[in-house]
Amino acid sequence: MTDRRSFIRQSAALLGGLALHQNLDAAFPGIGPGPTPGGDGEEFWRQVRASFACSPTLINLNNGGVCPAPRAAMEALDHYNRMCNEAPSYYMWRILDQDREPLRMNLARLAACSKEELALCRNATEALNTVIFGLPLKPGDEVVVSTHDYPNMANAWKQRALRDGVKLVHADPQLPSEDEEAMAEAFISRFSPRTKLVHITHVVNWNGQVLPVRRIADAAHARGIEVLVDAAHSFALLDYSIPELGADYWGTSLHKWLCAPFGNGLLWIKKEKVGKVWPLLSNDKPQGDDIRKFESLGTRSFPIEMATGYALDLHELIGA
């Protein structure tokens, strides 16, 4: 038992920072930096395919809701689960809980933003609900939403309207479309002096339409309107940085295109706006400006978070 505990303790010290994992050759053997220019890339993509344990008997046509995680992430998840169950209160709270910071730093690097603007949560629904229910909106304030928004977000806004008297104004862009001006105008034409926020779905889950977020955001800001972006289906799929969108608030799921273990999400709030948003779950400093106030979730799955580091490694290896 002593030897086993010693091994686990050493493993925690050595592997506790999986979010900072650097040994890519060991985790993803055979995968180089990418296909050779001019080549067909067949061997490269064969190795990428081998990094996943997808079923050989089912063809997965839905990688939007949840993507499969790579084998290395699954092995890390198993390792951390076993570690936590060896001494839960010690390894969960003293070891893995501290490793959220390296993971936050690496995700911030990928998103090209400050780590002080990123909160780790469980999915895009939680991230976006935090903003939807946390903004100080009053009866009569208008929020422009879309007929193409995801049901969870549409229902959240309906609940906010029912509870607080917020007025929802629906944009109805005609999709699919290649006319960015027309798509943007469908939102902009719904703005009024009472509009406080516009909710934009970056990639529409129904048909894959990419909406011109920056064009809409610039028009909104010119009128003093804030911007919330549902990036559940764009992060790690499209090659962009969060600041490029011109948003004020943004949320995504990491178990979609980043291929993290199920139950991982990310919330981004522009630094100067963190203090005005109330956390979805209680915190001792609910009006503070520390992004970590949105992470007061009680007991959570630390292994799921830490295994995300391996999915992040693979993503950075092959690119968006």
pLDDT-based confidence at residue 93 (cuts at 50, 70, 90): confident
Residue 82 DSSP SS3: helix
Please compute the mean of the pLDDT values over residues 193-212 and round it to a whole number.
Answer: 96
Domains of the chain by residue range: 2-106, 124-254
State residue 18's pLDDT score.
39
pLDDT over 70 for what percent of the chain? 88
Return the H-helix or E-strand segment holding 11: helix 2-15
Non-local (6+) Cβ contacts of 25 within 8 A are: none
User: Residue 135 is which amino acid?
Assistant: L
Amino acid at 316: E
Q: Is 245 helix (H, G, I), strand (E, B) or coil?
A: helix
pLDDT in tens, 8-29: 444 443 443 433 344 455 566 6
Question: Residue 40: is its pLDDT beyond 90?
Answer: no
Residue 21's pLDDT is what? Answer: 46
Residue 58 in this model has a pLDDT that exceeds 90: no
Q: Give the C-alpha distances (Å, rounded to integers) separating 190 from 30, 71, 104, 148, 223.
A: 52, 47, 36, 15, 12
User: Averaged over 165-175, what is the pLDDT?
Assistant: 98
Its pTM stands at: 0.88
Q: What is the pLDDT of residues 291-309, one digit of tens each?
A: 999 999 888 889 999 999 9
Q: In this model, does residue 36 exceed pLDDT 60?
A: no
In this prediction, residues 227-241 reach a mean pLDDT of: 97
Rg (Cα) of the chain, in Å, rounded? Answer: 21
Distance separating alpha carbons of residues 214 and 225, to the nearest angstrom = 13
Token representation of residue 176: 């699919």
105-125 pLDDT, tens digit per residue, is 999 999 999 999 999 999 999
Do residues 74 and 80 touch, judged by C-beta distance below 8 A? no
Q: Which CATH class is domain 124-254?
A: alpha beta
What is the average per-residue pLDDT within 69-84? 95
Instruction: Write down the pLDDT at residue 63.
Output: 75
pLDDT value of position 39: 56
Q: Which residues lie closer than 8 Å to 202 by C-beta, 6 or more apart?
A: 210, 211, 213, 229, 230, 231, 233, 234, 238, 245
Mean pLDDT of 114-140: 97
pLDDT of residue 99: 85
Strand 226-230's sheet: what is its strand order? 118-121, 265-269, 249-253, 226-230, 195-201, 142-146, 167-171
Please name the residue that has the structure tokens 């993503």: 315
**DSSP class per residue in 27-46:** HSTT--SSPPTTS--HHHHH
pLDDT at residue 35 in the model: 61
Of 50-59, 145-154, 233-242, the least confident: 50-59
Cα Dmax for the chain? 69
- Spatial separation of the C-alpha atoms in residues 128 and 294, rounded to whole Å: 12
196-202: average pLDDT: 98
Average pLDDT of span 308-317: 93
Facing residues of 199 across strands? 228
Q: Give the per-residue pLDDT at 1.
A: 44
Mean pLDDT of the chain: 89
